[in-house]
Amino acid sequence: MASLDNEWPNFDGVPEEDALISARPRGQKLARYVWWDGEVREADSLNVHYYANALHYGTAVFEGIRCYPTERGAALVRVQDHVERLISSARLYGMKLPFSADELARGALEVTRRNGMENGYLRPLAYFGSGPIDLRPKKECPVRVFIAVRELGTFLGEDALRNGIRVTISSWRKFHHTMLPTMAKASGHYANSVLAAHEAMDRGYDDAILLNQDGTVASATGQNVFFVKGGVLYTNDVGSSIVPGITRDCILNIAREQQVPIEIRPFTREDLLRADEIFMTGTAAEVTPVRELDGAEFVTGKSTLGAAFQRAYLRAVTGKDEKRLGWLTFVR
């Protein structure tokens, strides 16, 4: 196995390391403009009908896209992959989007530019609007699409990225892909995540991992789960009812390049408890180490493989990795 330490020096003595995490906005301020049905509009002028089908039945699909500052100005991360996943989520719900992937990607760039956003999070969302009380929204409800923007620094806080989070196994199980199309990022699916996240909070944890009905691990409330054991990187796939994350794909790409052995297979709570390291990936959470799982402690910090992946990922998304500039679309 290649030594990641040789490729990316430790956190110690790497000046840009601090900049990768610390120089971030603290809040989540909403931006002034929203891209709404094809035009950039003032956010304050927009509203959603109280009888929107999506509000009643969770019939919306959405994405989360990061925008980072780079030496060449702000850049969106893997925007094409995100808009394509939005279209595929919509399709799984019988929702025909009136915009192509290219139009949505252009809209995302335009609204980021108009807002002058650097450390941002874009929320493209497509929903079934107001129609009759009916569980067949594709028949009559209009489809509305917007891309909202807000500031976002570290999602779970700076300490979470550096030192890791405390996680519990939820008593709520993840719904199976035969119950709902788990590959879709659909609003209604997140009721499951909300229950698990509330439970974690009430128990004093930062987040929860949901198990499938068969006891294998699905994912965290909004992140994919990885673990390291004996220098091998493990994660599951769509057979475990996960959303196949774009960040997950970035980590697997980095692992392949670094010749870190990878095993993609279903895994259990027991596998996690026996792991050397655990970390989670997601657009918002980036690469977040886990320092505790229900009382069991795990190593985090500069010596870990997780930290090397985090550093490699943050370097790539901030334009510091020449080989991965293809992940970025520059706003200007």
Ligand X SMILES: Cc1ncc(COP(=O)(O)O)c(C=O)c1O
Q: In the complex, which residues of this chain contact ligand X (CB under 6 A)?
A: 64, 185, 219, 222-224, 242-243, 245-248, 281-283
Unique residue bearing structure tokens 């699916």:
189
Residue closer to ligand X by CB (options 130, 241) is 241
Residue closer to ligand X by CB (options 216, 224) is 224
Residue closer to ligand X by CB (options 75, 141) is 75
* Token duo for residue 199: 């439970």
Helix, strand and coil in the chain, % to nearest 5: 35, 25, 40
Contacts of 211 (CB under 8 A, 6+ apart): 169, 170, 173, 174, 217, 218, 269
- For the bound state, the minimum distance from the C-beta of residue 195 to ligand X, rounded and expressed in Å, comes to 13
Instruction: Please tell me whether residue 11 adopts helix, strand or coil conformation.
Output: coil
- For the bound state, the minimum distance from the C-beta of residue 174 to ligand X, rounded and expressed in Å, comes to 9
Residue closer to ligand X by CB (options 33, 234) is 234
- For the bound state, the minimum distance from the C-beta of residue 193 to ligand X, rounded and expressed in Å, comes to 6
Q: What angle do CA 257, 210, 59 make, to 5 degrees?
A: 95
Q: How far apart are alpha carbons 326 and 154 in whole angstroms? A: 23
**Is 185 part of the annotated catalytic residue set?**
yes
Q: How far apart are alpha carbons 38 and 261 in whole angstroms? A: 44
Is residue 284 within 8 Å of residue 121, measured between CB atoms? yes
Residue closer to ligand X by CB (options 14, 284) is 284
- For the bound state, the minimum distance from the C-beta of residue 130 to ligand X, rounded and expressed in Å, comes to 27
Beta strand 232-235 pairing with 262-264: parallel
Torsion angles phi and psi, residue 251, rounded to 5: -65, -40
- For the bound state, the minimum distance from the C-beta of residue 232 to ligand X, rounded and expressed in Å, comes to 21
Neighbours of 72 (CB within 10 A): 12
The closest residue (CB) to ligand X is: 245
Q: Helices 246-257 and 305-317, interaxial angle, to 10°?
A: 110
Q: What angle do CA 222, 104, 55 make, to 5 degrees?
A: 55
Q: What angle do CA 325, 331, 332 make, to 5 degrees?
A: 105
Residue closer to ligand X by CB (options 154, 247) is 247
Residue closer to ligand X by CB (options 130, 216) is 216
- For the bound state, the minimum distance from the C-beta of residue 196 to ligand X, rounded and expressed in Å, comes to 10
Q: What is the per-residue DSSP string for 155-174?
A: SS-HHHHHH-EEEEE-SSPP
- For the bound state, the minimum distance from the C-beta of residue 219 to ligand X, rounded and expressed in Å, comes to 5
Q: Please tell me which residue in 29, 138, 174, 185 is annotated as part of the active site.
A: 185
Is residue 300 within 8 Å of residue 291, measured between CB atoms? yes
The residues assigned a catalytic role are 185
